Amino acid sequence: MPSSAVTASGQPGPVSNDQTFGAYARGLWSRLLAGQSGVLPVILGVILIGIIFQSQNPRFLSPENLVNLLVQGSVFMLIGMGQVFVLLLGEIDLSLGFVAGIGATVMVLLVTYAFGWPWWAAILAALAVTAAIGAVQGTLITRLRLPSFVVTLAGLLGLQGVMIQLLGTGGTIPVPDEMINNLANGTLTPMMGWILTAAAIAVYAVVTIVRHLRRHRSGLVTPPAGLTALKILAAIVAGVTLVVICNVDRGSVRFPFNGMPWVIPIVFGVLVMWSLLLGRTRFGRYIYAIGGNAEAARRAGISLPRIRTMAFVLAGMTAGIGGIIYASRLRSISTSFDGGTIVLYVVATAVIVGTSLFGGRGHPLHAVLGGVVIAAIVNGMALLGLPAAIQLMATAVVLLAAITVDVVIRRRGETTR
C-alpha cells in the first residue's frame, strides 16, 4: 500500500487511457530503436532464410519439408526451453544434452521387456531422474557456490559415461512401445488438428480480450483495440496456416500420410506452461530479477539459493522431455547420441533470438524460434546437398550475424552508467 502521506495528492489516471494507433506505432518504433525489438528481427531472418532456400530448391517450402523441419527442430526447442531457465540467471548448463540422453535412456530401459513398465510410468520416471540431476547440480552450484560452467562440464562428461554404462555393450536399444514412438512420429487426424488449433486460438482470444477490457476499464494505458483484434487475427492466420500445411497429404499415392505431428502440441504445451511460469508468477519474476541484479533481489528478500536450484531442476526436467522426443523420433537410443554437440546448438537456439548469456533477458519462445532457425538452416543446406563442412561454417556465420545484430541494436537502448 502507498503510505497515507502519499495518497493525499496521488491521482489515479484518467478514466480512459486508450492509445491511438498512431501513438502505439510511435511507441513501438521508439522501442525498436531502443533495442527492445523482441523477436521481430528473427521473424524477418526466418523469412529471408525461407526465400533464399526456396529460390535454390523449390522443395524447401513444400508442406512435407516444413513439417519435417518442425519435427527436426523439436528436440532443440525443448532442451532449449530448459536452457533458458539457466541462461536467465546468467548461468549455463552444459550438461543438458546428456541430461536429455539420460532421460531417454532411463525411459527406454524401463519400457523394455526387462522392466516392462507402462509408457507413462517410464516417462514420469525419466523426468524425475532428469529433475534430480538438475537438483544435484543446482545444489552444488548454489550452496557451494561452484561455477555452473565447471559443474555442468563435469556433468557433460560424467553423464555421458553413465549413459554408456546404462546402455551396456549393445550400444543401441530400440523402443518397443508404440505410444512412445508416436510422440515424435505419430500424427493427429486432420479433424483433431483443427479442433486443437481452434481451441488454442479461442483460449488465446478470450484471454487477450479479457485483459484488454480489464485494462481499459481500470484506466491503465491500453493499446488500441484494433491492435488486440490484429493480434487475434494473426493468431488465427498462423494457426490455420499451420493446420493446412500439416493436413496436406505428404505420403505417396499408396500410403497417404497427413495430419499434425504430436510433437507440435507437445512443444506448444511446454512453451505455454513455461511462459506462464516465467511471466505470470513470483517464481518467474524472481528468476528475471536475479539475472538482472542478484544483489537487488537479495535485498528484496528473495531466497536466491532456492530459486536458482529450482531453475536447474526445471532445466533438467525440460531437457528430459527433449530426450524423450529424441528417442521417440529415432525409435531407439544409442551410445552415438551426441549430447555435447546438442547442448551447444541448444545454447545457439536461445541466443540467436535474443536470450542473453549474462542473464536477465530471455524467453522460452526464443528457444522455439531459434529451433526453427537452426532446423531451417540445417534442413535447407542438406536439401541443397551442401557438404557438412559448408553447413557448419554457414551455421556459425548465421549465429554470429544474429548475435551481432542483437547486441548492436540493444546497446543503443541502454543509458550509460
List residues near other proteins by CB under 8 A.
1-13, 27, 34, 36, 214-215, 218-221, 276, 280-282, 285, 288-289, 291-293, 295-297, 299-302, 360-361, 413-415, 417
In the complex with other proteins, the residue whose CB is nearer, 281 or 404, is 281
What is the C-alpha to C-alpha distance for residues 396 and 401, in angstroms, rounded to an integer? 9
In the complex with other proteins, the residue whose CB is nearer, 254 or 412, is 412
In the complex with other proteins, the residue whose CB is nearer, 40 or 238, is 40
- Minimum Å distance from CB 337 to other proteins? 35
What is the C-alpha to C-alpha distance for residues 120 and 127, in angstroms, rounded to an integer? 11
Residue at grid coordinates 499451420: 242
The alpha carbon of residue 91 and the mean position of all alpha carbons in its chain are separated, in whole angstroms, by 17
- Minimum Å distance from CB 277 to other proteins? 10
CA atoms within 13 A on the CB side of 374: 30
In the complex with other proteins, the residue whose CB is nearer, 307 or 347, is 307
Amino acid at 178: E
- Is residue 279 a contact partner of residue 272, using CB atoms and an 8 Å limit? no
- Minimum Å distance from CB 40 to other proteins? 17
> Measuring CA to CA, how many Å separate 313 from each of 54, 108, 171?
41, 21, 28
In the complex with other proteins, the residue whose CB is nearer, 22 or 387, is 22
Q: Write phi, then psi, for 147 (nearest 5 degrees).
A: -70, 135
What is the C-alpha to C-alpha distance for residues 206 and 202, in angstroms, rounded to an integer? 6
- Minimum Å distance from CB 11 to other proteins? 5
Cα Rg, the chain, nearest whole Å: 23
Indicate the angle between helix axes 364-383 and 263-280, nearest 10 degrees.
150
In the complex with other proteins, the residue whose CB is nearer, 18 or 338, is 18
In the complex with other proteins, the residue whose CB is nearer, 9 or 55, is 9
- Minimum Å distance from CB 309 to other proteins? 18
- Minimum Å distance from CB 416 to other proteins? 10
81 closest CA partner among 368, 403, 374: 368
- Minimum Å distance from CB 108 to other proteins? 36
In the complex with other proteins, the residue whose CB is nearer, 59 or 282, is 282
> Measuring CA to CA, how many Å separate 286 from each of 131, 135, 367, 415?
20, 18, 20, 23
DSSP code per residue over 152-181: HHHHHHHHHHHHHHHHTTT-EEE---HHHH
- Minimum Å distance from CB 320 to other proteins? 25
The alpha carbon of residue 190 and the mean position of all alpha carbons in its chain are separated, in whole angstroms, by 25
- Is residue 82 a contact partner of residue 319, using CB atoms and an 8 Å limit? yes
- Minimum Å distance from CB 276 to other proteins? 8
In the complex with other proteins, the residue whose CB is nearer, 296 or 382, is 296
What is the C-alpha to C-alpha distance for residues 94 and 157, in angstroms, rounded to an integer? 10
Q: Write phi, then psi, for 256 (nearest 5 degrees).
A: -60, 145
Is 38 in a helix, a strand, or coil?
A: coil
DSSP code per residue over 216-251: HHTT--B--HHHHHHHHHHHHHHHHHHHHHHHS--S
In the complex with other proteins, the residue whose CB is nearer, 164 or 227, is 227
- Minimum Å distance from CB 284 to other proteins? 8
